[in-house]
Amino acid sequence: MSKPTDEPLVNEAAVMVSEAVAPRVPPSDPRPLRRAARLPPLNLFRVFDAAARNGNFTTAAEELCVTQSAVSQQIRQLEELLEVRLFRRMPRRVELTREGTALASAVGESMALLVRACERIADPKAPVVLCVNAPPAIASRWLVSRLKRFMQLYPQFKVTLLASNDPVDFDRQDIDVAIRWGHGDWPNARIELLAPDRLFPVCSPALLREGPPLLVPSDIIRHTLLQVVNGSFWGSWFGAAGAGGMAFDETLYFNDAGLMLDAAVQGQGVALASRLLAESDLKAGRLVRPFDLEIETGAGFHVLTSPDFSEKPAVAEFRRWIGLEGRESA
C-alpha cells in the first residue's frame, strides 16, 4: 500500500498564497482591474464645486450661467470617469455621497488656492517682476547703472536682468524686454531703436600718453588693433578718415564687446566702440578718444518686446523709460 503524497497539499497552499498576493477579478465582474485614473477635464470640477456648494443643480446652473441639464450632464460625466456616485438625487435637491464629500473638500481647497493666486496676480498693488534680457556688454556697462533709477521711479516694478546674446523668442522664453544689436529685422517682435551705433576709436590714457603718438588716424597702425569677431567696422572708419587700405601687424579678436573694452582699458590696444558701451569708461577716465571722427554703421541697439504684451503697464513704462535713457546717451 503506497503512502499518500503531500504534493496536492503543497500545490493548494501555493494557490492560496498566489491569490492572497494578487487576487483575481471575479468572473462575474466584467470590469478589468482599475488602472491609475487620468485627471478628468478641469471644467468638470468647477461644475462639481458649484453643485456641491449649492446642493442643487439648478442653483449651480444659475451661478455658472448654463442650463440645469448641462450641469446634470457634466456631473454624470464626472461620475462615469471616476466610476463612483458623487450625488444622491433627491426630489428638489442633491446630497453628496461619501465619495462626493471627500472630493468636494479637495476641490474646494484647490479652487480657493486658484482664486487667491489669481487675486495676487491681478492685484494692481502687488509688485510686478519684469524680466529684461540684454547682451553682457551693454548690460554691465550701460544698463546696470541705470536700473536703480528706474526702480526708484517705479517702486511697484522689480527688475530681473539676464545677460545673453541668444536669439529671442517671446513665445518660448520668459522674457518681457530684450535689448539686441543689429539692423532691426528680428521677427515676431515689436522693435524700437534704443540708440544709433556711432563708432569711434578709444584707448587707455596710459597708451595715449606713453605709447607711440596718435596724431593722425594712420598712426593707429603702430598699435594693436582690438576688434570683435565678425563685427568690425575698422575698414569703414579708416576709409572715412582718409586712411584706407592699411595693413595691421597685430590684431586681437574678442567674441564680446565688453571684453574688447576691458582690454582697451588695460592698455592692450585701440578699440572701436559705440557711445553706449564706452560711456561709463569715458566718464570715469578709464578710456579716452584719440580722434573725434565717428561713423554711422546703419545698425544699433534696439529694444524688443512681444507684440502681444508691449502695452502691458510694466513693459510699456520700461519701454518709455529706456527710450529716454537711450536718447540722452546718444
Angstrom distance (rounded) from CA 303 to CA 310: 11
The pTM is what? Answer: 0.67
The pLDDT mean for the chain works out to: 86
Angstrom distance (rounded) from CA 265 to CA 318: 31
User: What pLDDT is attached to residue 298?
Assistant: 87
Query: Within the chain, which residues score under 50 in pLDDT?
Result: 1-36
**Quick one: CA dihedral 240, 246, 247, 252, positive or negative?**
negative
User: What pLDDT is attached to residue 14?
Assistant: 36
Residue with cell 519701454: 319
**317 DSSP 8-state letter:** H
- Which helix (H) or strand (E) segment holds residue 192: the answer is strand 190-202
Residue 31, classed as helix, strand or coil, is coil
* CA 64 vs CA 39, 59, 165: distances in Å: 22, 9, 48
Total residues found in the chain within this entry: 330
For the chain, report the end-to-end CA distance as a whole number of angstroms: 115
SS3 content of the chain, % helix, strand, coil (to 5): 45, 20, 35
Type of residue at 74: Q
Side-chain-side CA neighbours of 188 within 13 Å: the count stands at: 7
User: What pLDDT is attached to residue 35?
Assistant: 46
Q: Which residues contact 12 (CB under 8 A, 6 or more apart)?
A: none
Q: Torsion angle of alpha carbons 94, 100, 106, 108, nearest 10°?
A: 0
Phi/psi at 10 (5° precision): -65, -45
**203 DSSP 8-state letter:** B
Helices (H) and strands (E) in the chain, counts: 12, 10
**4 DSSP 8-state letter:** P
User: What pLDDT is attached to residue 123?
Assistant: 67
User: What pLDDT is attached to residue 134?
Assistant: 97
Residue with cell 466610476: 83
Q: Torsion angle of alpha carbons 83, 86, 90, 93, nearest 10°?
A: -140
Q: Exposed, middle or buried by CB within 10 Å (0-12, 13-18, 19+), for 233?
A: buried
Angstrom distance (rounded) from CA 97 to CA 28: 26
Cell of 214: 596718435
- How does pLDDT run across 21-59, given as a tens digit for each residue? 344 444 444 444 444 457 899 999 999 999 999 999 999
User: What pLDDT is attached to residue 46?
Assistant: 93
How are beta strands 190-202 and 295-305 bridged, if at all?
antiparallel
* CA 176 vs CA 170, 227, 256: distances in Å: 8, 31, 23
**Quick one: CA dihedral 323, 144, 134, 238, positive or negative?**
positive
